[in-house]
Amino acid sequence: MVVVLDGAHLTCEQVHRAAHGSGILMGSTERAEAAWRTAGSLVGPVYGQTTGVGANKDVPVEASGLDLLRSHAGGAGPLIEESRARATLVVRLNQLLAGGSGLDPALLPVLASAVNHGLTPPIRGYGAIGTGDLTALATTALCLLGELPWTPSLHDGHARDADDVPGFALTSGDALPFISSGAATLADAALACHRLRLLLTATTAVAAHSFRAIDASLEPLAQAVQRRPNQAAVAAGLRALVGATSPRHVQDPYGYRAFPQVHGAVLDILDHAERAVTEELNAAPENPLIADGRAWHNGNFHSAQVALALDALRAALVQTATLSATRLTTLTDPAHTGLLPFLAERPGLSGVMILEYVAHSALAALRQLASPVTLGTGVLSLGTEDHASFTPQAARSALAAVEPFEIILACELVAAVRALRQRGLPCGLPLDPAMADRPLDGDIDAARGLLSGLARRCPSRLQADGGAGSADRTTLAELWSLDHTAAAGVAVGRGHDHADGRADDAVDVPVDRGEPGGEQARHGMVVVAHHGHVGGDPEPLLPRRRVDPVGDRVGEAEEDPVPVDEHLAGDLRGGRQRLGRGDRLDVQPQPPALGEEVHVGGPVGSAGHGRREEDETPVTPVA
């Protein structure tokens, strides 16, 4: 599912897709070109161009930009994962497309080529404190100059040919504009927000299994009780999933009774964090900012807003994770389940006792990660830089929080499924049904693997009044009936699926089932209008937008309907299209606007996806 970068509309979910190999298309460079022309006409002192940097801000220099890159590329620690490094390239490219840097726009397609060929810079983990990812981006610049190798450095087991290595002759004047960004930090923040969004959505589905397992009262989920939009959405989602219960108690523990209040508040915090990150993904953070015919020296590189939002998000995760652990405790208690202690097969056995230990071990790790980074600061460069947000540490901690949170939810899910089965209630999740005492690590791993699928099929955004569209009336039974491998929605092809970047002759690109409301989103070289419904039939026509391979952008539009049952992808839920590999893309002035029809007329290579001529079928959108 190719991501289109235009400097204005990049989302956390798209960063995740591009980081994991979707390929990218580049939008208009008009704003970058305007800033470049302005930068070339500037006179007078300009920070980092005619002066040194940091405490050397008042020292005149001449053409020292390449020395700046070499001196600032000194990070430390292990290399970050390739997906995070790729996300860094994507974020920086999108920021440069927003304009304001003043660097040569001819660099931008070279960055896009690196992303689409699966190449990443060797970025080390330590070196940033929230005032710009200087070491990460200086390292990237040295890769572009050919002074450091890209990763992976081999192609089919051999050293890459010079023509196979993206390179650009950065000038001294390009140096500071290129590294004046927190792109690596924002990449981590975007990846964290996306993954935590999935887990927080899955939390409602996991809690629904526990509600059913102990016959928890649904009275706290009534619409009359709810006061805030996310709280109401959580309660409505649970009502839809759980159905009816036969409560054992007038009031249940807080893990059930206060779940909408706590989890709704966590979603509020996530919404705020995602807005803060998304704003920065599409901003020009440069210092100086080249705009309105001049250079503006400023502090927009400072990322305090993101750091504060991520600190709050990690603290909020502990709240809802704690409720998951408390629900796990009730699932082991005969007073709530009517079953043997610890859901054992027979009296005296341990059953799922160890799950509580595992969950609380993960919860302790999550609490450690929630420690706020914004309580600290740093004074650097002879006192010139006298404050630091430590946003990189906040973003890394948010990304690290995914694992323990996922483990806590998995422990609850394993216990809830066992309780449902012991009570003779239906449960179709593919977890081991054996009740004998045995190692449960495989069960936990399997449950972790189900969470993304549950999230993508869970009714996560319902109307506050409890009304739901056909896509929102998902029950637990419908969740169980889905193919969770397909439901995970993971892209299985990108035109270079191998660790060495070697391209396949063809790739499979998943087609999402969509969300209600008829919104459109770009999926690979195809843009699918969202009319698919969980648990219902797809619309009679599958709208599809195709990209004409005339550059890393898109070309003309053609329209025509195609029935879904004749469509290559088949069913909207988990269908895939077979796409051929082509050679390269050229450049057009503008990217596609949402709702604008485009057409594939030949093979596509540099974006990682294409179509064979025999697969060509123009279509028209459904109103």
Cis ω for the linkage preceding 288 (within 30 of 0): yes
pLDDT at 425 over 80: yes
Contact 287, 302 (CB under 8 A): no
The reported pLDDT for the residue numbered 458 is: 76
How far apart are the C-alpha atoms of 501 and 109, rounded to whole Å?
A: 18
pLDDT at 269 over 80: yes
The predicted model gives 517-545 an average pLDDT of 27
How far apart are the C-alpha atoms of 375 and 510, rounded to whole Å?
A: 43
Contact 130, 305 (CB under 8 A): no
- Of the ranges 191-195, 238-242, 331-335, 477-481, which one carries the lowest mean pLDDT score? 477-481
* pLDDT tens digits, one per residue of 151-207: 986 666 666 666 678 999 999 999 999 999 999 999 999 999 999 999 999 999 999
The predicted model gives 553-580 an average pLDDT of 30
User: What is the average pLDDT value for the chain, to the nearest integer?
Assistant: 78
The reported pLDDT for the residue numbered 153 is: 64
The predicted model gives 104-133 an average pLDDT of 95
The reported pLDDT for the residue numbered 536 is: 28
Amino acid at residue number 371: S
The reported pLDDT for the residue numbered 460 is: 47
Portions of the chain given CATH number 1.10.275.10: 3-181
Portions of the chain given CATH number 1.20.200.10: 190-473
Any idea which architecture 190-473 has in CATH?
Up-down Bundle (1.20)
SS (H, E, C) 227-286: CCHHHHHHHHHHHHHHCCCCCCCCCCCHHHHCHHHHHHHHHHHHHHHHHHHHHHHCCCCC
Which residues are 578's β-sheet partners? Answer: 508
The reported pLDDT for the residue numbered 374 is: 94
Q: Is the dihedral of CA 13, 14, 17, 18 positive or negative?
A: negative
Amino acid at residue number 552: D
Which residues are 158's β-sheet partners? Answer: 155
Return phi, psi of residue 245, to 5°: -135, 165
pLDDT at 360 over 70: yes
pLDDT at 550 over 60: no
* pLDDT tens digits, one per residue of 398-419: 999 999 999 999 999 999 999 9
pLDDT at 25 over 90: yes
How many other β-carbons are positioned within 10 Å of the β-carbon of residue 537?
11
Instruction: Report which of 120, 89, 100, 121 is spatially closest to residue 5, judged by C-alpha positions.
Output: 89
Side-chain-side CA neighbours of 45 within 13 Å: the count stands at 11
pLDDT at 495 over 60: no
pLDDT at 583 over 90: no
The predicted model gives 420-436 an average pLDDT of 95
Q: What is the CATH number of domain 3-181?
A: 1.10.275.10
Percentage of residues in the chain having pLDDT higher than 90: 61
- Of the ranges 70-79, 85-94, 440-449, 544-553, which one carries the lowest mean pLDDT score? 544-553
Listing DSSP states for 543-606 in one string gives -EEE---SSSS---------BGGGSTT-STTT-EEEEE--------S-PPPTT------S---T
- CA 472, 469, 244: angle at the middle one, nearest 5? 50
The reported pLDDT for the residue numbered 383 is: 85
The reported pLDDT for the residue numbered 313 is: 98
How many other β-carbons are positioned within 10 Å of the β-carbon of residue 442?
11
Q: What is the pTM of this model?
A: 0.77
Highest mean pLDDT among 128-137, 153-162, 311-320, 579-588 belongs to: 311-320
pLDDT at 570 over 60: no
Higher model confidence: residue 443 or residue 297? 443
